[in-house]
Amino acid sequence: MAVSAGRKTREIVYGMGLRRSEALVQATSYFFLILGGVTMVVPFVWMIATSFKPASEIYMGNFFPQAATFENYREVILKTLFPRCYLNSFICATLSTLSVIFFDSLVGYTLAKYDFPGKNVIFVLILSTLMVPTEMLIIPWYIMSVNFHWADTYWGIIFPGVITATGIFLMRQFMSGVPNELLDAGRIDGVSEFGLYWRVALQLTKPALAALFIFNFLGNWNAYIWPLIVSSAREMLTLPVGLGFFSSEASADWHLIMTANTLSVVPLLTVFAIFQRQIIQGIALTGLKG
């Protein structure tokens, strides 16, 4: 009896120690997560707060404005090229993203659901393009743009990103999970091959499409090097390039610079808020159950 009671006591003590250890690990994890979150959020909040400060408060050391004003937004929108740059970025990012969504998903579906000679070789060649640094492609892209008179055009900015190897790989992996039985049933019902892709496969791979949408939109919205090289006309500047020039023009007018940067993140936050659930599912690469 004494041995049994001692064993139970040791088990209770061990269980209490284990729970304390788990609680300590959890508390430590939460602490570092909160610390990291604050580290990332504070500069963003400071940027927004600064956008409402008048010029006289910039160097006063106050985190929040004492006399908030919308004058900075009025000046940025009405007296600079910011609206034009905003429109250019929106057009380029949207068109490029729609192109990637269509072509990457179509190629991924073809590689996943059809057997033809050289399929694996084509897939490997597509993936091998990921090993080529973008900097090595800029000169050929620029020569081609000049020869075809694409400089200072929307197409000149967009064409390097109309289809991506990363998107093809992502969509191929998701399309492989689409049950073949559904496609066969569609063929029996007389659905065309393109109809199977459009009406069946795309409907079952929405998480991947959402992830591809947000990643490509973010990449094109923030693109800097290629739009800077291919566009020299001020009316064709995209937002990142325009912000660079705006910073130089505004010099020490940090209230205007922070205002322009605050406005530039609005579309990104909107897109993420709309597709956040699908984005998380897409990143997790959840499979389909047939």
Mean pLDDT across 146-158: 94
What pTM did the predictor assign? 0.80
* pLDDT higher than 50, residue 290: no
**The three-state (H, E, C) secondary structure of the chain, written as one string:** CHHHHHHHHHHHHHHHHHHHHHHHHHHHHHHHHHHHHHHHHHHHHHHHHHHCCCHHHCCCCCCCCCCCCCHHHHHHHHHCCHHHHHHHHHHHHHHHHHHHHHHHHHHHHHHHHCCCCCHHHHHHHHHHHHHCCHHHHHHHHHHHHHHCCCCCCHHHHHHHHCCCHHHHHHHHHHHCCCCHHHHHHHHHCCCCHHHHHHHHHHHHCHHHHHHHHHHHHHHHHCCCHHHHHHCCCHHHCCHHHHHHHHHHHHCCCHHHHHHHHHHHCHHHHHHHHHHHHHHHHHHHCCCCCC
At 174-203, the pLDDT tens digits run 899 889 998 999 899 898 999 999 999 998
Fold of 80-284: MetI-like fold (1.10.3720)
- Average pLDDT along the chain: 84
At 94-125, the pLDDT tens digits run 999 999 999 999 999 999 999 999 999 999 99
At 41-93, the pLDDT tens digits run 898 898 889 889 888 887 777 888 888 888 989 988 888 888 999 999 999 99
Mean pLDDT across 212-231: 90
Task: Using pLDDT thresholds of 50, 70 and 90, give the confidence band for residue 172.
Answer: very high
Q: Give percent of the chain above pLDDT 70.
A: 86
Instruction: Give the pLDDT confidence score for residue 88 in this predicted structure.
Output: 94
